Structure formats: C-alpha cells, structure tokens
Amino acid sequence: MNWFMQSGALTAVLNIANFSLNTENAVLIPYVKACAGYMSSDSQAGPTEVFKGREGWFIPTGVGFKFGVTKGINIDLGYDINFIKSSPTVKSAYNENRFSYSHLGLEFVLGSKENSQLQNYSAVADLRKQSAEESAELRKALSTAEQNGERDRAQYAKDLGDDDNDGVANKFDKCPASVSGTVVDGSGCPIKVQRGVIKETTVITEADRKVVKDAISNLEFDLGKSTIRAKSFASLNRVAALLIEKNFSLKLAGHTDNTGSRALNLGLSKNRAESVKAYLVAQGANASRIEATGYGPDQPITTNKTAAGRQQNRRVEFTLY
C-alpha cells in the first residue's frame, strides 16, 4: 500500500529578539510562527485501486528558538503543530485533526557578514544606544566646560571687555586708549570727520529680514563654547554690511537648552551673543547700535525632551530695529 501527500503553506515568523530594549544583536532568538496552508492525501492499495484520503485547509503554528553560533550561522530548534480543517464532503480513514513534529537544524545567513542579521537585530535597542551615546558626549562636553569654566570666563571677560568705554571689545580695539566720549569707528579708532546726525524713519525690507534669517540658520559654535565656526562667517559678513549700509540697530539674544547647570548656560548664552557682536563690530558695524544679551535656558521655543528640540533651543536670535 502506498500513501501520497501534497501540501503548501505560507508561514509568517515573528522573531521576539527584534523587540529587545537592551540587546542590539541577540544570541538567543525566540520566535513564534503561524499562517495557513492547503493539503491533500491519497492511498493506493493495488495497481489500480486508489482511496481518497484527506484534503482541506490546515493552520501551521509553531514555537522555537535560534542560538547564534557565529555572526552568520544559527542553530534552529523548534516544535510545529498543524491543525487540519477537513472538507465535510470527503470521507477520511483518519480521525486525527492535527499533526506535529519537532526539528533541529543549522541556518546559514547569505549576504555580507558585516551587516546585522535582521532576525536577531533590534532597531529599538540601537536607537537607545545612539541616544545614550549622544547624551554621554554632551555630558562630557559640559563637564569639560564646567571644569574649565572659570578660566574661559576670565578670558572671555578680558577679550570682550571694553576698557576705554568706546563700544568696541578689547580684542578688536586697534586704539585701546581712546578718550572717553570720543566717537570711534568699528576698529575703535577716532573718526576724523564727524558727520551730522540725520534722523530718519527706519524701514526694514523683506530682503533685509532674509539676510538676518540666513545668518541665524547658518550660525554654528564649537560644542560647549562661544567660538564661531568658519562656515558662519559669510552670512555674518552680509549682516555687518547691512548694518553699515542702513545704520540699523540690532539686538542679539543668546539661548541654550536645559542640559547642565543654569549658571553655566546663562554664561554660555551671553558669551555667544557677545561673540557675534564682536565679530560684526570687527567687520565695521557700529558697536553702540548692537545689544547682546543672554537668557540661558529660560526662553525655550520647543520641548527639551528630545535631541531635535534641544537643538532648536540652542540658538542666537537677531532682531533688527
């Protein structure tokens, strides 16, 4: 007697390791699986006599786990149960409505061994790892800044101070001994020809606002410092040219996120605003028409609970008037 069976099934496998919060690449990979399939069977008692067996839908389910031997090889151990839905019009010689089996085997991963296996890789754990690394880098930078804070603040105070009270920081003052009350240019030297003061209405155009908006979007500092990065110079030069051409006044307001101590953030926001003022004055802008203030973490424009929100809160605002 011979027995024949044909079946086909489509099975979905859910790897539980993909949802790990702590392990990016799991070694032990539990899984469950389920879906649907169709099967039929016949039996032959003699050369010509064929008996109809069983046919119908069945539901394959199973559980198991894989053990990662190397990056590209897993041991697969599982147990499967198949629940059979027989056709009511077909008589069956068998009364069983399910069958099961267990398996043990090796699984080989194709492709580059440098890439993580999708079946044991957890994107959630990887995201937590990246977030932790970002937080650790920022804490390290803030810790370094706090340790060197006193020395840096003393240097900033010296560079950005104005010993002769002419409105030009010491760092950029080419005539540091100007007599009090003398009208000076952007380099701190007396203006030889005094111009009459002309009162006029300040008109700020959309083009003027765009110059300022570009400078804000391109403004970058070294991490935890008030040193302006070179990529910001071009847009700041256009702001300085605008201030010189139209004699506008400008308010600079420095802001930070809430990471670190409030005292450190207040000092950092003030120093960054003063650095921008010092740069604009060095390009010839009138120091008396530029105001620099620091508000630290007190005026956020969005949440500080995400990295993107903290990035938006670390800013220097420019206001023309």
- The 10 Å Cβ neighbour count of residue 226 is 23
Q: What is the DSSP letter of 288?
A: G
Identity of the amino acid at 235: S
Task: Confirm whether 173 is domain-assigned.
Answer: no
Most confident of 33-47, 122-136, 206-220: 206-220
Q: What percent of the chain has pLDDT over 90?
A: 33
Domain shared by 147 and 287, yes or no? yes
Sheet holding 73-86, edge to edge: 2-15, 28-44, 50-68, 73-86, 98-108
Domain shared by 66 and 143, yes or no? no
Q: pLDDT value at position 251?
A: 95
3-state secondary structure 184-231: ECCCCCECCCCCCCCCCCCCCCHHHHHHHHHHHHHCCECCCCCCECHH
- Residues 170, 244: Cα–Cα separation, whole Å: 21
Q: pLDDT value at position 89?
A: 44
The tokens describing 42, both together, are 């016949």
CA-angle at 284, arms to 191 and 216, nearest 5°: 150
Strand pairing of 50-68 and 28-44? antiparallel
The tokens describing 260, both together, are 């670190």
Task: Confirm whether 187 is domain-assigned.
Answer: no
Given pLDDT bands bounded at 50, 70 and 90, which one contains residue 187?
confident
Residue 27 near residue 63, CB atoms below 8 Å: no
Q: What is the DSSP letter of 121?
A: B
Strand pairing of 73-86 and 2-15? unpaired
Domain shared by 149 and 237, yes or no? yes
**Of 62, 90, 121, which residue is a domain's last?**
121
Would the pTM of this model clear 0.85, i.e. be above it?
A: no
Domain count of the fold of the chain: 2
**Average pLDDT of 8-20?**
82
Domain shared by 113 and 63, yes or no? yes
Task: Confirm whether 303 is domain-assigned.
Answer: yes
**Of 72, 95, 121, which residue is a domain's last?**
121
Task: Confirm whether 10 is domain-assigned.
Answer: yes
What CATH number is associated with residue 8? Answer: 2.40.160
Task: Confirm whether 166 is domain-assigned.
Answer: no
Domain shared by 222 and 275, yes or no? yes
Residue 291 near residue 250, CB atoms below 8 Å: yes
Domain shared by 89 and 130, yes or no? no
pLDDT tens column, 61-89: 999 988 888 877 889 999 999 888 765 54
Task: Confirm whether 182 is domain-assigned.
Answer: no
Domain shared by 156 and 58, yes or no? no
Q: What is the DSSP letter of 289?
A: G
Residues 6 or more apart in contact with residue 294 via CB below 8 angstroms: 253, 254, 255, 266, 267, 268, 269, 270, 271, 272, 273
- Residues 290, 243: Cα–Cα separation, whole Å: 9
Task: Confirm whether 249 is domain-assigned.
Answer: yes
Q: pLDDT value at position 56?
A: 77
**Of 72, 97, 121, which residue is a domain's last?**
121
Task: Confirm whether 106 is domain-assigned.
Answer: yes
Tell which wins on pLDDT, 129 or 305.
Answer: 305
Domain shared by 94 and 110, yes or no? yes
Domain shared by 146 and 259, yes or no? yes
Q: Which domain holds residue 254?
A: 126-160+200-320
Domain shared by 47 and 136, yes or no? no
Domain shared by 18 and 59, yes or no? yes
Domain shared by 105 and 136, yes or no? no
- Residues 316, 121: Cα–Cα separation, whole Å: 41
Radius of gyration of the chain (CA): 37
What CATH number is associated with residue 140? Answer: 3.30.1330.60
